[in-house]
Structure 1
Amino acid sequence: MDRQHCSNRTILVTGASGYVGGRLVPALEERGERIRCLARNPGYLATRFSSRTEVIAGDVLDPDSLVAALTGVDAAYYLVHSMGSRAGFEEQDRIGARNFARAARERGVRRVIYLGGLIGDGELSPHLASRLEVGRILASEGPPTLEFRASIIIGSGSLSFELLRSLVNKLPAMVTPRWVRTPAQPIAIDDVIAYLTRGLDLDDEGSAVFEIGGPRQVTYGELMQEYARQIGVRRVMIPVPLLSPRLSSLWLGLVTPVYARVGRKLITSLRNETVVRDDAVLERFPVRPLGVGEAIARALRDEDREMARTRWSDAVSSSGRGPLWGGKRFGSRIVDRQQAEVPAEAARAFAPIQRIGGSRGWYFANWLWGLRGAADLLAGGVGMRRGRRHPVDIRPGDPLDFWRVEAFEPDRLLRLQAEMKVPGRAWLQFEVEPAGDGSRVTQTAVFDPLGLGGLLYWYGLYPIHWLIFRGMLRGILRATGVGWQNLQSADG
């Protein structure tokens, strides 16, 4: 089955900003493959991978953008999904798969490799049904497609592992709905990556489907008990016969990083059995998956590091986010700008800004930020539970509480785009520039309101916004340890 790697071929990876794609690209780089990544916002990936990896702008929902991306490509990974989108994700998945399949066939791509989901008997959840449909579209309308179908993926930072970890860490006793007793066949993220990379070497010319999973079946409840055992705690589970997906997602939103919109879609999938029924993959691929215990132990070892390599919330699709700072306007932008000067060089003035958010907080009225995050969770938004990837390091594309890093320049600029539920678009930008014998710190809040509702939102909360933004800048200046002068509002 294996054949020599071809370093002169080009491999396209879609979804490289996501959890699986973010780990697949380095694995392909280690093989010596020539990699091209498709990204809606190339700047988000600019510093994540080797300088040899090409990042090209494109979107599977924009067929014209796929022509250049797929030109000269030997094989392509399709790791795109729209589960976090605000609109109907099934239709977006359908359109994206069809656009990609047709473009790949027209550009002469030899093979598409796709990661789908294991399916069982009975009615499928909307999420699993969509994953199944995407695989069928790729195989029927595109080049030969190799589809791997997986159950729960266990790894530091994965959505399933974050859910598992939060439930066990925070709840000494928990009411467990029916889906906790549904059989699954979890697989370690390292084994998923091994299958995906070896898919490039399969000699078969036609399409094929392989079911992948760990050595044994377990329930989600058994997974939680195994995690509890490994961290040395005891947990009591009280089963109940009924708990709707909506109630479950709201409950999860209070105790886990899984916000309501994705939580609902995830839980409706957990009610389906996701177990391997065809083990043909073991004969075709020299991969021997880890057991559940070792997969959790490995995830815990990675989680103990200062940062996981990738997290589910790193994916731009996890937020259903909109256009960037310079994108199409909804209306006239409202700007709140504050400035002050500090007797310090730019690096010292910028240091508190670079550490903002996460466990450090927002330098003023953190309880108000927490309250806004709780309200966002109830509205189906991301809330404040994502934290930040690293306490100091920042890169474009990082989630940061309910913001996402849109632009970052060391010691000079940090721009965040809001991903909380607001009637419009919002940004928060910090700039530091030399001024006299020190530096000038400028904090700019921008709101692009959507209709009358957006205007009412901004002006109705204006006193609170003014208090928070001014207090936040004061806190940042205080954290420099050198004092400040000339704190003032500036024209927007």
Structure 2
Amino acid sequence: MSETAQRSTILLTGATGCIGGRLLAALEARGHAVRCMTRRPGTLAGRVGPRTAVVRGDCFDPVSLAAPLAGVDTAYYLVHSMGGPRSHDFESRDREAARNFGEAARSAGARRIIYVGGLGAETGLSRHLRSRHETGEVLRASGVPVVELRSGIVIGAGSLSFELVRALVERLPVMTCPSWVRTPTQPIALSDLIAYLVAALDLPHGESRLFEVGGADAVSYGGIMQEYARQRGLRRWFIPVPLLTPRLSSLWLGLTTPVYARVGRELIDGVRTPTVVRDDAALTAFPIRPLGLRQAIRRALEEEDAAFAARPWSDEALSAATPLRWGGARIRSRLIDSRVVDLPVPAAAAFAPIRRIGGVSGWYYGNWLWRLRGLVDRLIGGVGMKRGRRDPEDLAVGDILDCWRVVDCQPDARLLLAADMKLPGHAWLEFAVTSKSDGTTTIRQTAVFDAAGLWGRIYWHALYPAHVLLFRGMLRSIGQRAMKETY
């Protein structure tokens, strides 16, 4: 890393997004002084490090850009209007935002702008890809040198393209596949794109550069869906339908994945354009060897599980969930049942029954139902409920707990269990204990099921009444035991 890059302040736009959030963490980990610009600074509260400043700025308000860009050497431009207000007119809004930002960066004396665009030839582009290219051109017209990384589909949790693939594969056992699913593309792992963005800081100043970046594999869109299905253990049937155009496909997308319909239709409209790397200059300019598709999807799923295990459920975390009329709530493919109880006892007392759960202590409610579930699990080749636990009082990460395994255990604060039983998906059970300022303690019990396709969702919703009965009774009994042992 050059001395200039180490010393200078970096401006980061889009820090609340998928790429921007990961880039912020990478820059902070390398000791950079970062300034995040956002229209709503409160959205980054508690999510930045001590050397990171959060300032207000809006690319559609030129006056507001002067302060964020003051004294900045390098600015990351990760702004896109496709998913925001007036998204029907995102092309002109993208041009306006880039023009305002580029002019403000020039006035502030910024030495470089780093921007993520999209792969694709210069002609025959969709509105989305054309806008990505135009944004780079507008930034360069400001006179500030621009490093543009034209990227393929980003494989990583939170990436819109990846979430569209996930939603389609998870929801549809049988998919009609028009000819455009055979269009070649070169997806890139989110971690590799972040590595390119960080490495761009070390490029010499003084001239604009354009790099095409993609993963190690050029595949089809259908190949991405098939590989995702394989790694999730899902059997999917793809039926060729030659007459289904991207436009009709985008309308169909709105019916099957309505959450992503507004921006997903624009992405689907662009799949007729091959998005592969034609110039491999990035492999020479950067010390990065990107992952192939299989490794990229595996890493995305593993990183998502690791992030999930590291963060306890809370009101803030659950605010991102979509409430369901039946079955609790949903975040992506994960189905959630979360409930709380407030107790007038210290955190240690509230956690004591949780620490002793399972084994000879049982599960505090409906033990016969747990035994029945264990018997069914044994009949279908699972571990059942008879493994017990290592110690009746002590728990450690990796311990066996009947049909569960301890993933995280923080004394008097958190117990996270992962299910080892046979399931059409993956299941976790978390107990989080929080002390309140009034001396009381809250226990939040959260059951999470990462449903593997249609059968996983059917399993969750069919057994939801039994789950409600068990989880509600278990939390109530834990609270009663904590009270009894305290008083």
Q: TM-score band (shorter)?
A: 0.5 to 0.7
Structure-2 residue corresponding to 1:474: none
TM-score by length of structure 1 reads: 0.64
Judge conservation of contact 2:10–2:35 (CA < 8 Å) in 1: yes
Judge conservation of contact 1:172–1:235 (CA < 8 Å) in 2: yes
Structure-2 residue corresponding to 1:12: 11
Structure-2 residue corresponding to 1:263: 264
Query: In 1, Cα distance between the equivalents of 2:282 and 2:308?
Result: 33
Structure-2 residue corresponding to 1:95: 96
Partner SS, residue 74 of structure 1 = strand
Structure-1 residue corresponding to 2:37: 38
Structure 1 spans left out of the alignment, 5+ residues: 311-350, 371-383, 394-432, 438-479, 482-492
Partner SS, residue 268 of structure 2 = helix
Deviation of the 1:33 alpha carbon: 0.8
Deviation of the 1:304 alpha carbon: 2.7
Deviation of the 1:4 alpha carbon: 3.8
Deviation of the 1:204 alpha carbon: 4.4
Judge conservation of contact 1:119–1:274 (CA < 8 Å) in 2: yes
Equivalent residues in 2 for 1:361-376 (5 A)? 361=323, 366=325
TM-score by length of structure 2 reads: 0.64
Query: In 2, Cα distance between the equivalents of 1:354 and 1:150?
Result: 32
Judge conservation of contact 1:177–1:239 (CA < 8 Å) in 2: yes
Partner SS, residue 207 of structure 2 = coil
Q: Structure 1, residues 145-179: CA drift from partner, whole Å, max 9, x if none? A: 00000010001222122122222222221101232
Distance 1:234 1:367, change over 3 A: closer
Judge conservation of contact 2:250–2:269 (CA < 8 Å) in 1: no
Equivalent residues in 2 for 1:151-162 (5 A)? 151-162=152-163
Judge conservation of contact 1:162–1:256 (CA < 8 Å) in 2: no
Equivalent residues in 2 for 1:156-235 (5 A)? 156-235=157-236
Query: In 1, Cα distance between the equivalents of 2:26 and 2:139?
Result: 24
Q: Structure 1, residues 361-405: CA drift from partner, whole Å, max 9, x if none? A: 47xxx26999xxxxxxxxxxxxx8769999889xxxxxxxxxxxx
Structure-2 residue corresponding to 1:21: 20
Query: In 1, Cα distance between the equivalents of 2:322 and 2:219?
Result: 38
Q: Which amino acid aligns with 2:94?
A: D
Judge conservation of contact 1:41–1:57 (CA < 8 Å) in 2: yes
Judge conservation of contact 2:152–2:187 (CA < 8 Å) in 1: yes
Higher helix share: 2
Query: In 2, Cα distance between the equivalents of 1:48 and 1:352?
Result: 15
Equivalent residues in 2 for 1:43-442 (5 A)? 43-87=42-86, 88-120=89-121, 122-256=123-257, 258-305=259-306, 307=308, 361=323, 366=325
Partner SS, residue 72 of structure 2 = coil
Deviation of the 1:255 alpha carbon: 3.4
Q: Structure 1, residues 296-327: CA drift from partner, whole Å, max 9, x if none? A: 111111233463999xxxxxxxxxxxxxxxxx
Q: Which amino acid aligns with 2:146?
A: T
Deviation of the 1:196 alpha carbon: 0.4
Report the count of equivalent residues. Answer: 348
Coordinate RMSD, CA, aligned: 3.5
Q: Structure 1, residues 83-133: CA drift from partner, whole Å, max 9, x if none? A: 113420011101000000011011100100000000126411001111101
Q: Structure 1, residues 231-272: CA drift from partner, whole Å, max 9, x if none? A: 233321111123244432332234336422111111112221
Moved more, 139-148 or 95-104: 139-148
Structure-2 residue corresponding to 1:419: none
Distance 1:109 1:392, change over 3 A: farther
Query: In 2, Cα distance between the equivalents of 1:7 and 1:137?
Result: 28
Q: Structure 1, residues 41-62: CA drift from partner, whole Å, max 9, x if none? A: 0000121111221000010110
Q: Which amino acid aligns with 2:295?
A: E
Judge conservation of contact 1:162–1:257 (CA < 8 Å) in 2: no
Query: In 1, Cα distance between the equivalents of 2:141 and 2:318?
Result: 48
Distance 1:101 1:178, change over 3 A: same
Query: In 1, Cα distance between the equivalents of 2:156 and 2:215?
Result: 13
Query: In 1, Cα distance between the equivalents of 2:171 and 2:15?
Result: 31
Tell me the percent identity: 54
Q: Which amino acid aligns with 1:89?
A: F
Distance 1:16 1:175, change over 3 A: same
Q: Which amino acid aligns with 2:251?
A: L
Distance 1:390 1:104, change over 3 A: farther
Distance 1:105 1:97, change over 3 A: same
Whose Rg is larger?
A: 2
Q: Which amino acid aligns with 1:168?
A: V
Which structure's relative contact order is higher, taking Cα pairs within 8 Å and 6+ residues apart?
1
